[in-house]
Amino acid sequence: MGRIICIGKNAKHDDMTLEWVANWLVNNGHHILGDRVLRGDLDHYDMDTLPDKGDAMKAIARYRKIDVVIALHLFAIDMRPGYQNKRSVLAGPRYYIGRNPELLSTCMRRRIPLIAWGDQPDVWFCKIKVQKHQLIGSAYLYEPLEGECSQTDSRR
């Protein structure tokens, strides 16, 4: 059994978000994973509340067995690099984008499913085929698919 890495859980309402995600997992064929999330079997990373633990990206690179990454409060993880410069309205001053696209790329390259909670505009770009499912509200599941794809922008 691998780790469930949870990024950005730092507020009480995040417990409700994780419960919604866990219920979706249970109801969609991922019973064991959903039960683990409900039990709180999570490896938490948050630079505001757990800065001494370090960066989640380093943990994702370090650990061999990771079952899923759950990232909370992330905006535009599927935005291709440089796009925010062209569409500043999507990357307004309220939003940190930083290394978010790198998280998606790293998880897909390592074949780790990623659940992201936060507004995700549909302007993504990949070198690995990715399937994106809306779970509930602003929660999305990204799963790697077999094979390569060309650079794509779904708005075309």
User: Residue 153: inside a domain, yes or no?
Assistant: no
The Cα-based distances of 100 to 22, 26, 84, 129 in angstroms read 22, 27, 12, 18
CATH number at residue 8: 3.40.50
Q: Are strands 43-45 and 139-148 parallel, antiparallel or unpaired?
A: unpaired
Position 82 in a domain:
yes
Length, in residues, of the chain: 156
pLDDT at residue number 81:
52
Residue 124: inside a domain, yes or no? yes
Q: Is the model's pLDDT at 50 over the cut of 90? A: no
The total number of structural domains that make up the chain? 1
DSSP secondary structure string for all residues of 77-135: TTPPTTHHHH-TTTT-TT---TTHHHHHHHHHHTT--EEEES---S----SEEEEEEEE
Q: Does residue 156 fall inside a structural domain?
A: no
Contact yes or no for 69/21 (Cβ under 8 A): no
Beta bridge partners of 72: 117
Domain span at residue 114 reads 3-148
Answer whether residue 115 is part of any domain. Answer: yes
Residue 154 lies inside a defined structural domain of this protein: no
pLDDT tens for 106-149 read 898 899 999 988 766 554 555 567 788 888 878 888 888 765 44
Query: What are the CA-CA distances from residue 96 to residues 28, 82, 91, 119 (Å)?
Result: 31, 14, 8, 12
Task: Determine the pLDDT at residue 118.
Answer: 78
Residue 62 scores a pLDDT above 70: yes
Q: Are 37 and 22 in contact (CB under 8 A)?
A: yes
Within a domain: 126:
yes
Asked if the model's pLDDT at residue 156 lies above 50, the reply is no
Evaluate whether residue 39 is within a structural domain: yes
Predicted confidence (pLDDT) per residue in 1-48, tens digit: 899 999 988 878 899 899 999 999 999 999 999 999 999 999 999 877
